[in-house]
Structure 1
């Protein structure tokens, strides 16, 4: 069912603006993979304009294409582990309990937005699926008539607002993991643990302000009255009955249905985690991307109870990682062209960009320019980790040159990086699969969030950035 003219006329205020924006974005935005391919072309053209030879450019493209293989797997695992945990039976029971809390349509939308952002601080992949399942559970309530599109958009706010300010931030995780950092970047920044990025009071304050702003917008933009379109109006089937367990057909399958091995694996993980906390600084432990993924993967195995149920959940989660697997090699190729294709005067495009950002000078102007640049680049590279590897070499070099705090520079990138997600629907795909909706159903609401978020983010990075002092990087 599609929106009709009378329905649009009955909407008022922010809800009407949201629906007006939806049609434009759906019409003009191509698939995210197209953005990545266009990005490669633009970077190659920039290198040509810089005087690099075609041979140098294609060599950089081919040689750098697989530079992010390990990081690509890690980011795919963030999505997979989050999906597996969110679809476990204990989490499903929690979601049903939470779905009974809201007592009005607008409160239900803002409630979903708040919880999706709160969960996203821990794991953005978990937030996408958790938020989608919570939206479905609320939509099933027969005592509450809620707009399903607004619920879906609220479920996306974890990734559209604060995900990169949380513990699964690709850029912060990368900067805290020496083995995942490209050598050239490691020599500029050193290792930055979460104490210098995610857990600074400035970053936490910024996160709290954005969460409050997002909840308010979600509440007041939720359609009311005759403008509400429920899941039933949209033709969405809300039946979430679990698939019946497959019958055992042979004795050799008994371990697949046993809880013994998941419990053993979970206990081994717990033992390893305790050992890490006893022998290493706490921040270095929580900043470890590999350790983070290990804990979430084993948590998913434990929550599903048996290897068979766990593997069924993994099979459903794998399609959600497809975009990461095919796009990250293109981001690696872009980074290689920017940093390796030497042109006239022995300078790369990355070097020229570093000079430009350095010329802006330090202080608030630098952070605002970096934030705006991050937003624009994010339209072509809708990936926090992939884009950071493209952007970081020259941005962090510029930050060092103007003596801007490197940890805060990472957080400026992080808060700005989330903004393009509100326009580019690439990371909506796993959520849309859960909701049974299309991007055009959500983007009007998320675009409205973008309009409010952009000036607030720019103001926050400028004001809070003035409270930092420069700390010289420790190069291993």
Structure 2
């Protein structure tokens, strides 16, 4: 039954799922039209709201781009690669490989969404090389499914955004520390249940017929390897010697580490986490682990191709936010939400609605920018803990990434597969994790 359901989702995606940028355009047009019809704005008024909001997320766009770039680089450094190869060498059976991929990718995604995506692809490749008879699409799907926990982790866009002074809803909701969102009890319970059960879920989906097993093909995935260039010692000029020396990267990394230690000691430890701090930590580790500044730059260039699609979409999300707030559409939708929700159902309703919105706004930060102005006033009017609503929206955003291919692009590029190879298995993940998250937030 689950295999049939996965095949159904795959068939739908193949027919009807356009590029994520097209989704952003469609949502822009839809918001424009709704503002005219529902809130009686003129087309020029809506256009003015849109244009005025286009650049309101530039800081956040840079933060998110750095998250992916620094996570990509750190995952490709020699120490992290050594850990991945060591972990893969301990696995000897196909079922062990499947379970290990899901577990390792989940942990890495909890640390950082960008790191998790890259580590998931790399550990899947290493496991496929070492273990014969493992179904490679299922292995990669297990690694990508670990990504479902990212918005409950340390790089959670919504949780970190509302914990960062100056965020766009600060005047409405104030600052909410991460102890009330990502480290709150309901979030931790849902997180642990998913991380523990996901490997067993994928073990049960392993194909029984050997003819259905598609093993890893090293030749097809060779193009995804990251290659860094260094200048031969005998040909080095003084400038090239500096570029290829570890001294510069070590000094910079050491400065970052010292600052981070000072920052945490002066600001209450982990409660002071925000997106800037996460990015600096990954930047520091990555620059310390590489052989030279030039190697770091080469890796950044390789990471850049995974960032372009994100960069061009964020202005559209900012424009959507501008239209929703400027036209009063957000307030109108909040009124609808309050009329059909109550203090007990709003968190779960927020989770489900965020999952739906994520199909059209495949971006954690972009989605919070669109949905935050709706959910926060609704929570305040109903007397619901705003921090809980922030986290359920975060879970909903991560949840339907399992059937939204946008975030799978960098992982699939490294793995050498297409979204059609893994979508059916990820749909099963969607069902299972949806049950867990809904149940946890109904109980709590």
Specify if TM > 0.5. Answer: yes
Paired residue for 1:423, among 387, 396, 403? 403
Unaligned runs of 5+ in 2: none
Could you tell me whether the CA contact under 8 Å between 1:22 and 1:445 is conserved in 2? Answer: no
Aligned to 1:344: none
Deviation at 1:453, TM superposition (A): 2.3
Name the residue aligned to 1:227: 212
Is the CA contact (8 Å cut-off) linking 1:422 and 1:446 kept in structure 2? yes
Conserved? CA contact 1:15–1:223, under 8 Å: no
**Which of residues 301, 305, 315 in structure 2 aligns to 1:319?**
305
Assess, with a 3 A threshold, how the Cα gap between structure 1 residues 88 and 308 changes in structure 2: closer, same or farther: same
Q: Corresponding residue for 1:123?
A: 112
* Alpha-carbon offset, residue 254 of structure 1: 0.8
- Count of residue pairs the alignment pairs up: 440
1:134-145 matches, cutoff 5 A = 134-141=123-130, 143-145=131-133
What is the correspondence of 1:209-228 to structure 2 with a 5 Å cutoff?
Answer: 209-224=193-208, 225-228=210-213
Match of 1:168, SS state, is: coil
Tell me, in whole angstroms, the C-alpha distance in 1 between the residues paired with 2:309 and 2:59: 16
TM-score, length-scaled by structure 2:
0.94
Pairwise CA RMSD of aligned residues? 1.9
Residue matched to 2:321: 335
Q: For residue 121 of structure 1, give the secondary structure of its aligned residue in structure 2.
A: helix
Distance in 2 of aligned mates of 1:138 and 1:330: 39
- Pairs within 5 Å for 1:347-426: 348-426=328-406
When normalised by structure 1's length, the TM-score is 0.88
Residue number in structure 2 paired with 1:34:
22
Q: CA deviation at 1:361?
A: 4.2
Measured in 2, the distance between the counterparts of 1:195 and 1:354 equals 27
Matched with 2:156 is: 169
- Taking structure 1 as reference, are residues 239 and 438 closer, same or farther at Cα in structure 2, changes over 3 Å only? closer
**Alpha-carbon offset, residue 150 of structure 1:** 0.9
Contact preservation (8 Å) 2:32, 2:46: yes
Structure 1 residue 114 displacement after superposition: 0.8
Aligned to 1:80: 69
What is the rounded CA distance, in whole Å, between the counterparts of 1:307 and 1:394 in structure 2?
Answer: 44
The verdict on how the C-alpha distance between 1:241 and 1:318 changes in structure 2, with shifts beyond 3 A counting, is closer
Which residue, 309, 312, 327 being the options, matches 2:295? 309
1:203 pairs with one of 184, 187, 194? 187
Q: Which residue pairs with 2:36 in the alignment? A: 48
Looking at structure 2, the residues matched to 115 and 436 of structure 1 have their Cα atoms a distance apart, in angstroms, of: 19
Aligned residue in 1 for 2:134: 146
Distance 1:238 1:227, change over 3 A: farther
Q: Choose the corresponding residue for 1:156, options 144, 150, 161.
A: 144
Residues 195-245 of structure 1 show CA distances to partners (whole Å, capped at 9, x for unaligned) of 110111221111111223322221111224221101239954499595563
1:91 Cα shift?
1.0
Structure 1 residues 237, 145: CA separation in 2 closer, same or farther (over 3 Å shift)? farther
Mean Cα displacement is larger for which, 431-440 or 79-88?
431-440
Counterpart-to-counterpart distance in 2, 1:324 and 1:272: 29
* Greater CA drift, 17-26 or 120-129: 17-26
Deviation at 1:313, TM superposition (A): 0.5
State the shift of 1:277 in Å: 2.3
- In structure 1, stretches of 5+ residues that fail to align are 1-12, 342-347, 465-476
Instruction: Report the 3-state secondary structure (helix = DSSP H, G, I; strand = E; otherwise coil) of the residue aligned with 2:55.
Output: coil
* 1:82 to 1:365, Cα distance in 2 relative to 1, 3 A: same
Q: Is the 8 A contact 2:225 2:414 kept in 1?
A: no
